[in-house]
């Protein structure tokens, strides 16, 4: 089978496509023909040895996929060959086939194509876990979404709106903010042209926001934290800006607010029942048309490095998807 391989740690242009042997199948595993695999920010980190998960070289990046079961281990009883499924794997998905633990594979909802299905679980799962499980978002609260045009940002906008919140989307260009408005944002802030804190004060009549959804880090984190209302919650999702910030902790004291870490991968592993309940709720919202994943483009396996680079450079809105079985 063909796979996009990281043979030495480095930037996306160092990745290569090669023919490799598929791994053996354990009793509790499933072999999947990969039809689509979404690109996520951790893919750009794992290939440079900067992520929490550190696979041995060589390996294929790619943490979520949609495809068709080709083979099941002898202990697997709830799924069978030919079933269309979604899997989340941490790495390995940018290949024509992948082997995944049966506990990391779920049936693909009917009526959802492979490309959309592959781009759904990680971003929407992260955002739902952040807003509902960690922040306890309530109807009528105000949510500030930083880096709002990215995959998790757009998911956060849609989930917050579905829960009855008022959403302020912040991004770095008018084009990105137009996408945010299409996905339900009530107000927008271009933080490349305007002061983020001043705009939040104006939009909230000086009160601040109840929840800050922060996948960006860098200088925006402190501005977001300073914009929290009393008993606000600042959600730490990631650090797309590259810098891990160190905001003054006296801000949490003065505002009575909370700084809350969000690590969806650890949540999935340690709280599988709650994750299953979250996914059930998300698939219900998807079926009702309240969630509309934004796919910015698809790439063949040979151009997978380009897709990772485009996402890492924040050059696109929404999600990019690699289709290993297509030629162009």
Q: Could you give the CA distance from residue 284 to residue 303 in angstroms, rounded to a whole number?
A: 34
Q: Could you give the CA distance from residue 211 to residue 134 in angstroms, rounded to a whole number?
A: 11
Report CA-CA distances (Å) from 230 to 196, 210, 243, 255: 18, 8, 27, 5
User: Apex CA 160: angle with CA 127 and CA 173, to 5°?
Assistant: 80
Give the pLDDT confidence score for residue 33 in this predicted structure.
Answer: 97
Q: Could you give the CA distance from residue 28 to residue 96 in angstroms, rounded to a whole number?
A: 20
**Tens digit of pLDDT at every position of the chain (328 positions):** 999 999 999 999 999 999 999 889 999 999 999 999 999 989 999 999 988 889 999 999 999 999 999 999 999 999 999 999 999 888 999 999 999 999 889 999 888 999 999 999 999 999 999 999 999 999 999 999 999 999 999 999 999 999 999 999 999 999 999 999 999 999 999 999 999 999 999 999 999 999 999 999 999 999 999 999 999 999 999 998 888 999 999 999 999 999 999 999 899 889 989 999 999 999 999 989 999 999 999 999 999 999 999 988 888 888 999 999 886 5
User: Angle, nearest 10°, between helix axes 151-162 and 272-287?
Assistant: 80
313 burial via Cβ count (<10 Å: 0-12, 13-18, 19+): exposed
Which region holds residue 184: left if phi is over 0, alpha if psi is between -120 and 50, else beta?
left
Give the pLDDT confidence score for residue 314 in this predicted structure.
Answer: 80
CB atoms within 10 A of CB 11: 13
Give the pLDDT confidence score for residue 66 in this predicted structure.
Answer: 97
C-alpha closest to that of 6 among 52, 32, 45: 45
Strand-strand pairing, 84-88 and 64-72: antiparallel
Strand-strand pairing, 166-171 and 187-190: parallel
Q: Could you give the CA distance from residue 98 to residue 32 in angstroms, rounded to a whole number?
A: 5
Q: Could you give the CA distance from residue 172 to residue 189 in angstroms, rounded to a whole number?
A: 8
For 297-307, write each residue's pLDDT tens digit. 999 999 999 99
Token pair 């990969």 in the structure block, residue: 34
C-alpha closest to that of 234 among 222, 246, 226, 225: 225
Extract the tokens encoding 75.
Answer: 């202990």
């Amino acid at each position: 089978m063909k796979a996009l391989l990281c043979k030495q740690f480095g930037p996306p242009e160092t990745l290569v496509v090669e023919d490799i042997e598929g791994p053996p199948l354990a009793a509790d595993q499933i072999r999947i023909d990969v039809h689509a695999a979404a690109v996520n920010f951790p893919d750009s980190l794992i290939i440079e040895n900067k992520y929490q998960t550190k696979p041995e070289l060589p390996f294929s990046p790619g943490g979520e996929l949609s495809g068709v079961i080709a083979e099941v281990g002898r202990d697997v009883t709830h799924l069978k060959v030919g079933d269309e499924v979604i899997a989340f794997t941490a790495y390995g998905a940018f290949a024509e086939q992948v082997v995944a633990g049966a506990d990391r594979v779920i049936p693909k909802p009917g009526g959802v194509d492979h490309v959309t299905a592959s781009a759904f679980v990680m971003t929407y799962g992260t955002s739902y876990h952040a807003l509902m499980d960690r922040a306890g978002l309530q109807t009528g609260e105000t949510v500030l979404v930083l880096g709002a045009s990215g995959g998790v940002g757009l998911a956060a906008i849609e989930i917050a709106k579905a829960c009855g919140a008022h959403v302020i989307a912040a991004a770095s260009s008018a084009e990105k903010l137009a996408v945010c408005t299409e996905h339900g944002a009530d107000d927008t802030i271009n933080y490349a042209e305007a002061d983020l804190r001043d705009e939040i004060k104006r939009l909230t009549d000086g009160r601040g926001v109840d929840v800050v959804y922060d996948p960006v880090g860098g200088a925006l984190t402190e501005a977001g934290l300073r914009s929290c209302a009393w008993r606000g919650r600042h959600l730490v999702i990631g650090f797309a800006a590259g810098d891990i910030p160190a905001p003054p902790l006296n801000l949490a004291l003065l505002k009575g607010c909370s700084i809350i870490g969000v690590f969806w991968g650890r949540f999935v592993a340690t709280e599988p029942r709650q994750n299953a309940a979250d996914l059930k709720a998300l698939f219900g919202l998807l079926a009702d048309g309240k969630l509309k994943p934004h796919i910015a483009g698809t790439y063949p396996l040979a151009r997978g490095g380009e897709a990772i680079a485009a996402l890492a450079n924040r050059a696109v809105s929404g999600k990019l998807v690699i289709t290993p079985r297509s030629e162009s």
